Amino acid sequence: MTQASQTAHRAGDLGSSSADVGAKTVAVVGATGAVGAEMLRCLEESSYPTGALRAFASERSAGKRFKFRGKDVEMQVLTEDAFVGCDVVLFASETDISKQYVPLAVKAGAYAIDNSSAFRMDASVPLVVPEVNGELIRPEQKIYANPNCVAAIMVMALWPLHKAGKLTRVIASTYQSASGAGRPAMDELEESTRAYLKGEAYAPKVLPHPYAFNLFSHNTAIGADGYNGEEQKVVAELRKIMGLPELRVGVTCVRVPVLRAHSMAITAEFADKISVDAARALLSKAPGIKIVDDRERNHFPMPIESGGQNDVLVGRIREDISDPTGHSLALFISGDQLLKGAALNAVQIAERLA
């Protein structure tokens, strides 16, 4: 390690002592972004034994300080030797950054947990949601991929039902919030809404269409099959996470004017029939799930309630009356894209590695 890097690490680390038995050194890459900031918060609240913290961001954020567990931590600029001495590195970075630096984290001896799409479909890298396939988290495995936010949230509801009924098909529509496109999109939604209410013109800068009081197909490129990039990710990643390579999946992903938390309408078909009561009982016992299914008050999952929650909210549990065999269920779910869809899931993987 260079002398400059050693100095930076001393300035940026959250202090630990030899008395902190089992304490770990953790790095967060992309610490000032929407997901990175949530990673820091989730890490602070988690059971992971963080003894020293290194936070990496762009040059314009270098030198800024923040509190972590009551102590000052300084933002650093990422370098090739930044991970020397780290036990785990959480990446909330763009794909190109992850591709470059994840191997360097592993070379330095750290576990790497990546939130980008860089390694999700790599056959040698587990795509992990701990409540679903946590058995893939093993000491000898050094790189872990965090799923796409939609896949991570959706699989939380599908997995308990699959274990009982053998999932064969999924049809879903998503209602995806601004948080999925990062802080700039969240800012654009707020700014364009203010302009709209004042009757002022507002030219979109981050997203391709007007956002206030509007919705549109997810802002990823449309492929030759007519599906956009987000939809293609959900199909491939659901299959990989669940270990169901032949699972039939059809999904339509839509960006809606909600600041935070994604919602999804799902119809799931099973080989074995599952009653509505049985489905509700299974989901009520599933870790990371909260049932919100009050038909009398017409109270079901909403992003205004799932935002900021670790749990995925599940409701509207009912039989799909379009399936004469009775083997399909319909449900509506909502989960925080920044938490279970990103930061929280990454920290949960780290907790299993502690």
Query: Tens digit of pLDDT for each residue in 216-244?
Result: 999 999 999 999 999 999 999 999 999 99
Supply the pLDDT for residue 305.
98
Q: What is the dihedral sign for C-alpha 247, 173, 274, 322?
A: negative
pLDDT level of residue 54 (50, 70, 90 thresholds): very high
Residue 18 pLDDT greater than 60, yes or no: no
Residues 253-270, mean pLDDT to the nearest whole number: 98
Tens of pLDDT, residue by residue over 280-311, are 999 999 999 999 999 999 999 999 999 999 99
Active site (annotated) includes residue 42: no
Distance CA 80, CA 65 (A): 22
The percent of residues in the chain predicted with pLDDT above 90, rounded, is 91
pLDDT level of residue 13 (50, 70, 90 thresholds): low
Q: What domains does the chain contain, in order, with CATH numbers? A: 3-118 (3.40.50.720), 151-337 (3.30.360.10)
Supply the pLDDT for residue 12.
54
Residue 24 pLDDT greater than 90, yes or no: yes
In contact, 301 and 192? CB cutoff 8 Å: no
User: Which of 6-10, 25-29, 105-109, 242-246 is predicted least confidently?
Assistant: 6-10
Q: Could you tell me the pTM of the whole model?
A: 0.92
Question: Residue 157 is encoded by which pair of tokens?
Answer: 């509801």
User: How far is residue 33 CA from its own chain's centroid?
Assistant: 13
Identified catalytic residue from 149, 162, 218, 253: 149
Residue 11 pLDDT greater than 90, yes or no: no
Identified catalytic residue from 162, 218, 262, 327: 262
Active site (annotated) includes residue 262: yes
